[in-house]
Amino acid sequence: MTFRFRDIMKYHFNDIEAKWQKYWADNKTFKAVNNSNKPKYYVLDMFPYPSGAGLHVGHPLGYIASDIYARYKRHKGFNVLHPQGFDSFGLPAEQYAIQTGQHPAITTEANIKTYRRQLDQIGFSYDWSREVRTSDPNYYKWTQWIFIQLFESWYNLENDKAEAISDLIKRFSSEGNTNVNAICDDNVEMFSAENWNNFSSEKQQQILLQYRLTYLAETEVNWCPALGTVLANDEIVNGVSERGGHPVIRKKMTQWSMRISAYAERLLQGLETIDWPDSLKESQRNWIGKSVGAQVEFRVQSSEFRVSVFTTRPDTIFGASFMTLAPEHELVSKITTPEQKQEVDAYTEATTKRSERDRMADVKTISGVFTGAYAEHPFTKKPIPIWIGDYVLAGYGTGAVMSVPCGDQRDYDFAKHFGIDIPNIFEGVDISEEAFADKDNSIIANSDFINGMNYKKATKRVIYELEQIGQGEGKINYRLRDAVFSRQRYWGEPFPVYYVNGMPQMIDAKHLPIKLPEVEKYLPTETGEPPLGNATVWAWDAKKCAVVSNKLADDANEIYPLELNTMPGWAGSSQYFNRYMDPHNSEEIFSKEAINYWQQVDLYIGGSEHATGHLLYSRFWQKFMFDKGLVPHDEFAKKLINQGMILGTSALLFVFREMSSKGYDVKDTDLPDADDLNKIIVSGGFYDKYLEYNNLYDRYLNSKEEFKKFMIEKDISEEDWKPHKNFLDLLQNEIYNVNKKGRFIFDDDSFQTLEENIFKSNDLRVDLKHLDEITSDFVKISSFIKDTKYKEFKNAIFLNDEGQKVEDDLIKSKREVEKMSKSKYNVVSPDAICEQYGADSLRMYEMFLGPLEQAKPWNTAGITGVHSFLKKLWKLYFDDNGLKVNDAEPSKDNLKTLHKTIKKVEDDIKNFSFNTSVSTFMIAANELTAQKCTSKEILEPLLIVISPYAPHIAEELWSKLGHNTSISTASFPIFDASHLVESSKNYPISFNGKMRFTIELPLDMSKEDIEKAVLAHEKTQAQLQGREPKKVIVVPGKIVNIVS
RNA sequence: GCUGAAGUGGUGGAAUUGGUAGACACGUUGGACUUAAAAUCCAAUGGCCUGUAAGGCCGUGCGGGUUCAAGUCCCGCCUUCAGUACCA
């Protein structure tokens, strides 16, 4: 009996947390309503992709911060919307489906369940009744709906907004397109009203596609052969795919695109109106890449063609001594002379075959060829040779440049390399070594009508003159490209599209959602169609249409093919924040009432990695929806904060491995995935061979024939690589070929070395747990590596630097702090933390680690600090005899501690400085414990202050103090400054700026009296040692400084 | 190369307008309690010097400067991290 009584008085966080989590769920404590007398506040987290690995401690960091903010706002009397959901379409589930046949919906559902359990155990105050999942047909119905709206819109530059395509059609049929000022395809042809009305329906549709905000066009796309799909620019990192790290090549394909470029200027201007991190805004500015200059047209001699270039330096036009076109430029084949044709063809072919990564890896090499053609300088009429070179990018500007070697380093290098003229057009500048690119300090010379002018004046004049002769105009160019919107994948939103005579048609919105059909296989069809081509039945509630196989049949039983691509990952995340406002509405994307009530997100917290993806696309969709009158703001989030990454500590073992006949065994590594292979390459110590491998892999993917040729060139006979089932063998051959150090041939069970053994050092990342287990015992380490962890080292012999066998202590270990990832064995799961210390400890510790925005290493050991704080807090309320809180009158010190805490915590929350709040709580608990405070008047409001951070313990103690409703809406205590007023100050007394001692003096003492008191003090006299003070500075309430 | 952020004890980090540098924790050391461990509590903890104490000297990446006073402001460098990269 006694035991049980004592037991109740202890802080049993597991029971307490489970109890309150259930209470919140049962009572729908955090359900937000769409109208209220209270002011509204919308706090949003970036919703997670539910991966199979579950959450690690880095994931909840931002969620905890936003939860604290949401809970704080509730205490301050706001009606808070704090929803959560899942970005549940995506590649990993599909890759898993390809490997296992498991339907992605099943994997996704299971993963969501795990995520939900993990999130629930941390005690977030989400309104789960508003959960959205991007893969739910009731949700993606509206993603499809927005797609239709975009298709039915064009961008009118006269009003600077998106408008209905039906209006455009009216204008075309009454006035043609010559006076229409719209954002459209560069190559759109000009026509009159009469032309338009005589065009065939297909021709009209083709033209309209050039205006629509989402359109189908043949564009040069980033094709990832390994993933079998196209990728958007933001899905490529360092020239390889973001997911999986596969090579990417350029390819022309017919794809859906989003005309985000129409919004380039507004996306740029809008940044001024939102409170987002500067670094993130800067990323978006760079991505949009606005540059002001001129477009200039050069006539090609003895032909009808004109080469159009974009330049930011029209003032240097007289220095143009050649032109350079991108190898992909459409004029290349048209203007090349017969004599140069062979050389040009060889060059263009070679460039198109290079992957992005190759091109990037090899920036320094200057290459190019002369086309044989000449352009005519618009002013001097002198002939200018036209070259092609891969330093000119097809995707930027017009894909052609006027090359001014004296003013641009790349042009300079190119000219030097090929011996082209470098005329100097700058006054008093030496260009014998390098180009002079400083536009702000240049005076133009040798340039006819702009001689003696500076950059600004000359630019203006040149543009004027170009306009006079009709060969150019001022122009603003953006780097931002239209975003490719289709993917050749299964697990994504189907398009609401079918084709009539090859022209895309929207399926009527009343048939939405177009549900994702079932397929047998998640791979492309044998004819190379996307996975949806495998579908035999498309089920949707069609009134007039029936679906026959992959085709749509209308009343008259004509059959039309359906769009088989799916939408990219960012489609579903581009407006989810609005859908949360009215998530179950089946009639509208959201009701007018809901959007007018919630308006926009007040606080959005998430990772900076979405800077040029999700966050840019979402702003684009929001602006479009604003134009259509659907939303009241053209920016969706007022304030945004990027939480920093939590880094894990990896354990590295350094071993030296002998590669011998009994050594490196990689037999059963089947490698369809470059990601896996890269890992082995890197951990195998072949860092230097990484690139070679990639070339090889690219070659293989590009063309097996070409690969074969390459291998033969490298003197590796077909016999050597043909029997091998995977790329690793090829790699081995490549290594052999490159460094001649060793050769490894698959021989059923092991590799054989034909030449000398080679030694390589390896850093193997191991599970920290295991590292502790094996510590310095060599036998254990070696058996751990060979048997437990790394099968490929099964037969390895460990050597030290000198090549001797390692007997006991030569395997070194090291710790490294890096991004948490499964493959690095440095992941810490929140589950174990919650189990051992509780959710409140986890929440507090994550905040305590450091500033929210900053990257910081995780160290589980440190959690004892906040955990013992919570125990100490508990003890303020309970001792062995039970609840000790009473109605005692609070002391002055008690009140001072409480109000100091209220003030500091409130300021901290406003500044998102959550780490310092935790310190403040610790100080408060330490002080109140020392003061032996038992006063309810202090301890009750203290709980509300702590509640956003540690809601479970706060709820429990709150109820123990006699409340029978949740603490979550209790009013935040009002700070009363009068409790902090001091009557005296412990003045620091410094001598020549160095603090020596302190003196306690009344705060109302005058400057003169302070000076007298300080100078009279014995310690002052000791410091001065008889010297006369030269100057005494007294800052009342702050400091005294004596200069001697 | 360009852009942005940051460099403070053994570690994470504090110091809101220039005014006691190192709050709060972790770790370490010593002690109490305990058969023992865990848990808990107490004390010390930037470096160096003086036997201790009192005290002193040096200390916020480096070099200068402004100021009575600089982690904080100014100038010049170095390093690290992140983003971006032939953008005409």
Nearest-5° angle of CA A239, CA A245, CA A246?
80
Query: Which tokens hold the place of A323?
Result: 């032109």
Give the nucleotide with minimal C1' distance to the Cα of A399: B88
Distance A988 CA to B21 C1' (A): 14
Size (chain A), residues: 1044
Residue A389 and residue A348: Cα distance in Å, rounded? Answer: 9
**Alpha-carbon gap, residue A460 to A466, rounded angstroms:** 10
- pLDDT by 10-residue block (mean), chain A, 1044 residues: 50 92 96 93 95 89 95 96 95 86 93 96 96 96 97 95 96 93 89 94 94 89 76 71 70 88 92 89 89 92 90 92 90 90 87 64 76 93 92 86 91 90 88 82 88 90 93 90 89 93 90 87 80 78 64 77 91 95 95 95 92 92 96 94 87 52 30 30 28 43 56 50 39 36 27 31 60 55 60 51 44 69 81 92 94 89 92 89 88 92 94 93 92 92 96 95 94 93 83 82 83 82 76 84 82
A1033 touches strand B (CB under 7 A): yes
CA of A366 to C1' of B41 (A): 73
Does the CB of A434 fall within 7 Å of any strand B atom? no
DSSP states along A571-634:
TTTSSHHHHTTSTT-SSSSS-HHHHHHH-SEEEEEE-GGGTTTHHHHHHHHHHHHHHTTSSS-S
A989 touches strand B (CB under 7 A): no
Task: Quote the CA–CA distance of A1008 and A1026 in Å, as a whole number.
Answer: 21
Residue nearest to nucleotide B70 (CA to C1'): A993
For A7, other C-beta atoms within 10 Å of its C-beta total 9
Beta carbons of A40 and A632 less than 8 angstroms apart = no
Residue A1025 contacts strand B, CB under 7 A:
no
Rounded distance, CA A520 to CA A112, Å? 24
- Find out whether the peptide bond into A513 is cis, omega within 30 degrees of 0: yes
Question: Is nucleic acid strand B under 7 Å from A475's C-beta?
Answer: no
Which residues does A508 contact at the CB level (< 8 Å), separation at least 6? none
Strand B close residues, chain A 71-100, CB < 7 angstroms: none
Backbone φ and ψ of A1030, nearest 5°:
-75, -35
How long is the CA A848 to C1' B12 vector, in angstroms? 9
Other beta carbons within 10 Å of A239: 17
The answer to whether the CB of A479 falls within 8 A of the CB of A253 is no
The most distant pair of C-alpha atoms in chain A lies apart, rounded to whole Å, by 113
Q: How far apart are alpha carbons A461 and A442 in whole angstroms?
A: 16
pLDDT (0 to 100) of residue A347: 86
Beta strand pairing call for A322-325 and A383-389: parallel
| A623 in Cβ contact with A634 (< 8 Å) | yes
d(CA A635, CA A615): 11
Residue A309's nearest nucleotide, by CA–C1', is B88
HEC string for A240-264: EECCCCCECEEEEEEEEEECHHHHH
- The one-character DSSP state at A315 is G
Positions of strand B less than 7 angstroms from a protein CB: 3-5, 11-16, 19-21, 23-27, 39-41, 55-57, 68-70, 81-88
CA atom of A788 to C1′ atom of B11, Å:
32
Q: In whole angstroms, what separates CA A6 from the centre of its chain? A: 51
Q: Are A715 and A737 in contact (CB under 8 A)?
A: yes
Give distance CA A641 / C1' B83 (Å). 17
CB-count exposure of residue A374 (10 Å: 0-12, 13-18, 19+):
buried
pLDDT at A884: 87
Q: A665: Cβ under 7 Å from strand B?
A: no
A275 forms beta bridges with A639
What are the backbone angles phi and psi of residue A339, rounded to the nearest 5°?
-65, -30
Indicate if CB(A1021) is under 7 A from strand B: no
Residue A588 structure tokens: 């509208």
- Residue A238 sits at φ, ψ, to 5 deg, of 55, 40
Strand B reaches within 7 A of the A401 CB:
yes
pLDDT value of position A233:
73
CA distance linking residue A1032 with residue A669, whole number of Å: 78
Q: So what's the ipTM on this one?
A: 0.93
d(CA A481, CA A234): 11
Q: Does strand B come within 7 Å of the CB of A998?
A: yes
Distance CA A681, CA A686 (A): 6
C-alpha–C-alpha distance, residues A421 and A412, integer Å: 9
Give the distance, in angstroms, between residue A235 CA and nucleotide B4 C1'. 22
Task: Identify nearest nucleotide to residue A871 by CA to C1′ distance.
Answer: B40
Q: What are phi and psi of A806, to 5 degrees?
A: -85, 125
Q: Would you state the structure tokens that stand for residue A432, as one six-digit string?
A: 């014998």
- pLDDT for res A5: 42
CA trace torsion A542, A545, A548, A549 (10° rounding): -60
Query: DSSP state, A970?
Result: S
Task: Write down the pTM of the prediction.
Answer: 0.86
Give yes or no for CB of A915 within 7 Å of strand B. Answer: yes
Name the token pair of A738: 């490159």
Task: Work out if A980's Cβ lies within 7 angstroms of strand B.
Answer: no
Q: From the Cβ of A272, is strand B under 7 Å away?
A: no
Residue A1006 CA, nucleotide B67 C1', distance (Å): 24
| Strand order across the beta sheet in which A161-164 lies | A161-164, A153-156, A182-183
Strand B proximity: list residues 286-345 of A with CB under 7 Å: 286-287, 289, 291, 293, 310-313, 326
Write the CA distances from A100 to A94, A204, A671, A745, integer angstroms.
10, 46, 16, 31
User: With contact defined as beta carbons under 8 Å apart, do A782 and A798 qualify?
Assistant: yes
Q: Which residue is nearest to nucleotide B39 (CA to C1')?
A: A868
